[in-house]
Each structure stands twice: as structure tokens, then as C-alpha cells.
Structure 1
Amino acid sequence: MGPKEPIYCFVGNPEESSGFASIRVPTGDFFALPNYTGTPKIIESGYYHAVVTWRQWNPQFDTGDGPIVGYKIYVRSDSEDVLDEKVLPPGVANSSESVVSKSFAQNATDMVTYNVTKLEAGSIYAIQIAAIRDGIKGEGEKGPPQNFTTKSLPVTSTVSSTPQDLTTKAIAADGHDKSLDDMTFEHVEPGGQTSSSMATVAGGVLA
């Protein structure tokens, strides 16, 4: 049976001709789902977002049937889907698929750009694009993945104010050079505050 030949549906019991009938079902249009082969590109990335761009479905490079009414962008982290969003072609408002189909031809050469948000800093993601043709269940296979890593947050160090982190230096009690028999020790904290205490030094070692 070819794609243009009619389809007959028989209803009833074939052994009883009086209750048996046939219905001719009109033939429908047969099409192949679009297979998008392009790889998306990352043109900008931050801590929590990435700007993605990709070329549109083109019968010279891709297979299947059009017209293409949109795209589905998939974002995965490890084995978890974090995004699957439909994206309309450039210059097409969020309207019906029939309007999108008419506008596809004049915008087919434009690149599609999408800003992926709500990502995690310093994480690895994979992005894939699928083309969607006009009609029900018109989404084709996903294209090859593009991996990228979001920026990592800068590492901040904290200074502890515990006694073992204090800087200790010895100064003469009256501000002049003297022997180590009687010295004042000044504890200098990271914030610049100081506290002095007297100590006796015997043989260069604190007593």
C-alpha cells in the first residue's frame, strides 16, 4: 500500500454480511520528522547563566521534512534534565503554528539565541537542540551535545582572631635598645589593634 492509496476500515462480523460494512478513511500526509545535526555554541557564560546560539534547520545539512515552527532546547547536568524549553525562530511572535510556518522562510537564515538561566556556579552542563515541524508530535531527534562549564565563584579567605594566629613582636620597654632581661611583648592583631604585656626573658627564652 502506497502513501496515497485509500485505507478501508471494516466494521462488524465478516461472517454475517447483513451486519458488516466498510468505511473508506481518507489518506493523510506522510512526513519524516526533522533531524537537526547542528551543534549549539556558547557565546557567553557566567556564574548562573549561559547564552546559547545555533543555526536554524536547513534541508541542505539536515534531514526530514519542514516547515520548522520552532526548536526545543535541552540542558542536562550529569543525568538530570534541568531545562527543556520550546524556542520560536527569530522574528516570530508567540502565536499559532500556522503563522510561524508562513514566517519561517524569510527568517530561516537568522541565528537562534537563547539565554539559559538558573544554573549552578562551577557546574558542567550539556546542551542539545531539536527541531519541531508543523503538526502534532512534530519534534525530531536531538542534535549533538555541546558541553560547557559555568564560572566558579571566587574563593574568599577568612582571618581567624584566635590567639595562635596573632603576630607577636618584642620591643624595648622604654622604646630603646636594651638587653632581653626585661622586655614588653606587643600582640598585633590582623585588624591593627595591639595589646602589651610584660614578660621576663632569661637567656633569650621567655620565662
Structure 2
Amino acid sequence: MVSCPPESSNQENSRSRECEGGTFGLDCLQQCHCSPEACEKERGICTGQCLDSWFGPYCQSLPVIEKAPVIVSTTSTTVGLRWDAWSEEDDIGDHPLIGYDVFVKKDGDWVMDQRVDQLTTSAIVSNLTPDTDYSFCVAAVREGTGGTGPLSPRNNTITLCTKPSASPSGLHVAAINTKELEVTWEHLPSELAECRSGVTHYMIYYASTGSTSLNSVMVPNDTSSYTLRGLETYLDYSIQMTASNKDEESDRSSETIGKTLEEVAPSPINVAITQSTTHSFTVSWYTPLPSNINGNIQKYIIRYKRTDPAGDGNYKMEEVLTGAFDGEYTVMDQASKISYTVQVQTVNGAGSSNWSEPVNAKTILLGDDNVTRVPLGAVIGGVIVPLAFIVILIFTVVMYRRIKQRRLNAEPAASPPNSAHETSSKYGNSAYDDSDTHTYQDLNIDTPNIQNLTDAHTYQDLKKPNINVIYQNVTESDPGNTYEDTV
């Protein structure tokens, strides 16, 4: 007869032994999630008193956020946070998730600030104190009391400072060198900086009066003076200052005006002689840029000297008291027909400019000092008009003489009476007709029947009559062009 072997002693020992230390199972190798007295030894069922990070009647695991939230923004009273969403597949814990709790720590204790739903992974923490240290963390939350998971790692930040409550005082500006202004001020007290860091630096803002371009320069917090360089000459500058802490800049101070120093003016340009008379000449000039002339123009000085050998080589000076940017001046009481070299100089508060380029002037031999300069057009007109009148007069006389000559040539010669012959008033000769230079008479031939005085080319043969002829004196005038025949 075969019988079953008796049960081994090892099995009997394992059944008779109870698990200890919060373990369960046949080999007591599995860990309960609750206190030892609340853990069922064979199946590991908990009846309460769950360990940390375990939740529910069966002590299920709580969701865990493993990374610290990221700080995305910071102001003096707010901090913006963002974190990674909890994932059932990738992160520790059991679902369902209902949201996240945001925790804030200021002076030692963690305080829950707000809860956001499970679809939101960011938050803005508000109503914070400026310039204060804060820590932030996040926890995932399941349903029910005690469903908040363990806190995530934390992230720290400091809220920003507010702007300083005052600007620098005692602002003073002085011109010590050309193109420079020295700015001085009083330090801002640290309690007015509104920040534990105090004042970190100062800002100087400056611009020339009327300019739309604003310049700025940063100066350290350990100084109370600064020199602005590279400025324009003799201009007003408006200057303001601010104080800054590590985060904010104060309001600007009230304006303070500073003026850069004068400099010697540039020499005049476009110097010219605009008029000369027998005893004077007039010189004109202009002032070049910059338009501020490096200062206030007080006067101009004109110097001149003779250039002919009779001159002594010394300059004579005359002042023109004007602040205008251009000018004209007449040098009087000079000898006539003398050549001069002339220069102009500008004088302001900083001194005298260089002399201008020289120009030549010459008084004339004839002229009227009381007559102002005559325009060129008037001179030309005064010459042309008389010439035109003379030409017209000559032309009229010539035409008149020609017309008169034509009329004389057109008149026919008059026939003399039968009883007498016309005698030339020029020679007192009855055989010569002065009115026609081509008519001749032969006194030895009697040709009474062929005489034709109207033919300018007819020869007349006449017998010499037996008459006595009385001739007039050829030196006397014969106004009638007649003579007497006496038989």
C-alpha cells in the first residue's frame, strides 16, 4: 500500500509564520502602503493609516511632479510660473487628476496660493511684496481629502524693486572749458532708492536748446560730478538727471541750463568793394557758419593801407560797432586815384578773429562823393541815347540834301527870248549855259533855225552879232542870273 509522503516541514513553517514590518505575501517580500498594524498580512490590503504619498482606502499612490516650476516673469508684485503636465504613463502616481496646487514660501512656511484645473500648467502669483525673496513649487491633486501629491522641487526669485521715490538734487552746471560743461549733484539717500541694493547708477540727459535730439550718459553711483565733452560752441544746453536702483529709474529732475564758452569767431568771408568815389570806398562782408559765430559779435575792425610806392606801409584801423552777421562800411576822407588793400576782422567776447582775405580798393580821379553808385544800365543808357539822337540827325540832313538835289535835276532848262541870249551868272557870257554842262555854242556860225536849248547835247552855231556887251563883275553876285544886251 502506497501512501502520500508527509508534508514537508518547510511548508509548514512558512504557513505558520506571520509577516512583520509592514510586509505581506508568502515570502513576506511585498511592502504594504500603510502602517504595519493596518496591513492584511496575506494580501496586503490596508484598512487605513496610509503611508505618505499613498491615498485612498487601499492606499493608492499619489501623483508626483518631479521638476520645479519655471519662473517666466517677475515684477515688483507678481511672479509668473509654468510647469510640465503630470502624465499617468510617465510619472509616478495613480489617476484621476483634478488639478494642481501652487505653493508660495516667503519667510519660512509654505502657503497654498491657488489651485488651477488639470488642463492648466501655468499661473500668475499676485499681491507680492516688492524686493522680497520668494520660493515657488507645485503639487498634483487627486480627488478626495488628502489627494494632494507631494510638493515639486522649488524655484526661487526676488520680486523687483519699485522706482526710487526721488531724483538727484543740488544739480549744478558750469562751463569750465570750451565745448565742455561740468555737471555736479548730491547723492540720493539709500532709503529713497526703494530697494535693498540702493542706487546703482545715475543717468544724465542733455540736449541743446531747441534740438529734438536727446543725449544721455550713465555715471557710477560712487561719483557726484561728470564732465560733458564734445559740445557745440556757445550754445545753451538743458540738463536733467535720474537715479536708478537695480530694477527701476526715478523720474527726471527739473531742467538746469548751462551754456558753453565763447570761442574766437571765424574770419569774415565774401569781402568786396562795392563802391569807390574820389575820396572814399565802401567795403562789405559776410560771416560764415556756424551761425552762432562762436559767441556774441561785438564789432568789426577794418584795416587798410596804400599799396602805391608813396604809401608808408602802415595800416589804418576803423571800427564798426554792430552785432549783425554781415555788414557794409564806407571809408571816408581818402586821396583820389589811390590803391588800397583792405581786410576785415570779427571781434566777440573771446577775442578777435583772423583777418579776412585782402581785397583791393581804389579811389577814382573824377567823381561826385555825394552821388551814390550809378547802375550799369543807367550808364549804358546815358551813352546810347545821345549817340542814337546824333545818328538820326545826320541821317535826316543827308536825306534832305539828296531830295533837294533830285528836285533840282528834275527841273527842265528855260528857253531864252529871241532878242537876247541867256547869260551865265557865273561868267557873264551869253554863249555859255551853266545849267547844262554838255551844251556848247559856236559864235562864228549862224544857226538860228537849229537852236534847241532843250536838248542837252545840241550844239548851236551862231554868228557873232554886232553888239556891245556889258559884262558884270564876276566877283559880284548876279541874283537874277540875267544880263542886258545893248544894240
Once residues 82 and 135 of structure 1 are traced to their aligned partners in structure 2, the CA distance between those partners, rounded to angstroms, is: 20
The percent of aligned pairs where both chains have the same amino acid is: 24
1:86 Cα deviation after fit: 1.9
Could you tell me which residue of structure 2 aligns to residue 139 of structure 1?
Answer: 148
Q: Which has the higher contact order (CA 8 A, sep 6+)?
A: 1
1:133 Cα deviation after fit: 1.1
| Residue of structure 2 aligned with 1:37, choices 66, 72, 79 | 66
CA change 1:61–1:78 in 2 (3 A) is farther
User: SS state of the match for residue 118, structure 1?
Assistant: coil
Once residues 147 and 166 of structure 1 are traced to their aligned partners in structure 2, the CA distance between those partners, rounded to angstroms, is: 40
1:117 Cα deviation after fit: 0.3
1:192 Cα deviation after fit: 8.3
Could you tell me which residue of structure 2 aligns to residue 148 of structure 1?
Answer: 157
User: Aligned partner of 1:34: which letter?
Assistant: P
Structure 2 residue ranges without an equivalent (≥5):
1-39, 48-56, 175-252, 257-487
User: SS state of the match for residue 115, structure 2?
Assistant: strand
Summarize deviations over 1:84-142 as a string: whole Å, max 9, x none. 3222122xxxxxxxxxxxxxxxxxxxx51111100011111100111111233111110
RMSD of Structure 2 on Structure 1 (CA) = 3.1
- Are the counterparts in 2 of residues 72 and 87 from structure 1 also a CA contact under 8 Å? yes
- The correspondence of residues 1-207 of structure 1 with structure 2, limited to 5 A, is 1=40, 2-3=43-44, 28-81=57-110, 83-90=112-119, 112-158=121-167
User: Aligned partner of 1:77: which letter?
Assistant: K
CA change 1:147–1:61 in 2 (3 A) is farther
CA change 1:136–1:154 in 2 (3 A) is same
User: SS state of the match for residue 113, structure 2?
Assistant: strand
- Are the counterparts in 2 of residues 3 and 30 from structure 1 also a CA contact under 8 Å? no
1:166 Cα deviation after fit: 9.1
- Are the counterparts in 2 of residues 126 and 145 from structure 1 also a CA contact under 8 Å? yes
Once residues 90 and 102 of structure 2 are traced to their aligned partners in structure 1, the CA distance between those partners, rounded to angstroms, is: 19
Larger Rg: 2
TM-score by length of structure 1 reads 0.52
User: Aligned partner of 2:124: which letter?
Assistant: N
User: SS state of the match for residue 61, structure 2?
Assistant: coil
CA change 1:120–1:192 in 2 (3 A) is closer
User: SS state of the match for residue 139, structure 1?
Assistant: coil
User: Aligned partner of 2:145: which letter?
Assistant: I
1:62 Cα deviation after fit: 2.6
The number of equivalent residue pairs is: 129
Once residues 128 and 71 of structure 2 are traced to their aligned partners in structure 1, the CA distance between those partners, rounded to angstroms, is: 14
1:3 Cα deviation after fit: 4.6
Higher strand share: 1
CA change 1:154–1:192 in 2 (3 A) is closer
User: Aligned partner of 2:140: which letter?
Assistant: A
- Are the counterparts in 1 of residues 113 and 125 from structure 2 also a CA contact under 8 Å? no
User: Aligned partner of 2:84: which letter?
Assistant: R
Structure 1 residue ranges without an equivalent (≥5):
8-27, 91-110, 170-189, 194-207
User: Aligned partner of 1:142: which letter?
Assistant: L
